[in-house]
Amino acid sequence: MNYTLDPELVPLLAARTEQAAGVAARERGDWRSIREAGNLGQAAMAALVPPVTGIKTATYFATAPDGARIELRWYTTGETTAPGPAVLYAHGGGMILGDLDAYDTLLSWYVAHSRVPFLSVGYRLAPEASGTMLAEDVFAGLTWLTDHAHELAVDTGRIAVMGDSGGGAPAAATAILARDRHTPLARQILVYPMLDDRNQSPDPTREPFLTWTYDDNYTAWKAVLGDTFDTADVSPIAAPARLSDFTGLAPAYIDTGDLDIFRDEDIAYAARLAAAGVPVELHVHPGVPHGWDRLAPQSGAARRAFADRIRTLAAL
């Protein structure tokens, strides 16, 4: 199989390759180095988001099952007084990096264009937190949003959970917990989500295009799962692709790139949802790697993806 990179992204990846040429390769398992580099990368991507104005923010806190305080950041246009939809968001970063600040510009952009308020969850990261704790933090955000729906003018029947990349795992797991704990959830919106810890066999044909590598994936999942990594004991609340029963989950929107190592697990997850009778909208964008929309937000592929997401959000 011969893959071809989207022509609009060729200069971008060439520049990344040139920059990486003088940097020592990260050791497999070195989550600290990935976190340091990734946080810098997320700050750089945030600067590429077209600026918006008029978004109001507020800070709240939820309580996790173990008593930890989880920071929540609410984004709204401030225009709505009647109960309407809302989105609970889990940021990306392989579950080992990232924070609320790095997503301020992106979530403000989503809110400005969809007119749907967002609640971003500052879930704890691995390895400081592990296993199902990350999803429980995000679910605590959903519980808080449901409990405070009246004061925030939110219709509890129109709440969606959304996550990108590493945030896709706790977002998808929150959809599972919502089903199992009988908490209403209107939709799950998963942007190139990281769902399957067993995705550890490199595809050499895609290797030249990867922005999140198989070594990165090993390092991140090992940090999340610890001693349960590569065993049968992994909970689907930590790695949602481990789920066996998909019936009754919230309708799903999933998008991914054809040059993303998550492509196959995302397609498989969508197929298993569909087989269980869950409505699914799936997009596989040709010629683009993981995070292409953040790296090249003005590219045609990014504009198409953002348009589909805004359409999905506006329909809540």
Q: Which of 6, 164, 260, 293 is catalytic?
A: 260
| Residue position matching structure tokens 């908490």 | 183
Q: Which of 130, 165, 215, 266 is catalytic?
A: 165
Specify whether 235 is catalytic: no
Q: Which of 6, 137, 215, 290 is catalytic?
A: 290
Rounded to whole angstroms, how far apart are CA atoms 51 and 72? 22
Specify whether 101 is catalytic: no
Specify whether 290 is catalytic: yes
Mind telling me the catalytic residues?
A: 165, 260, 290
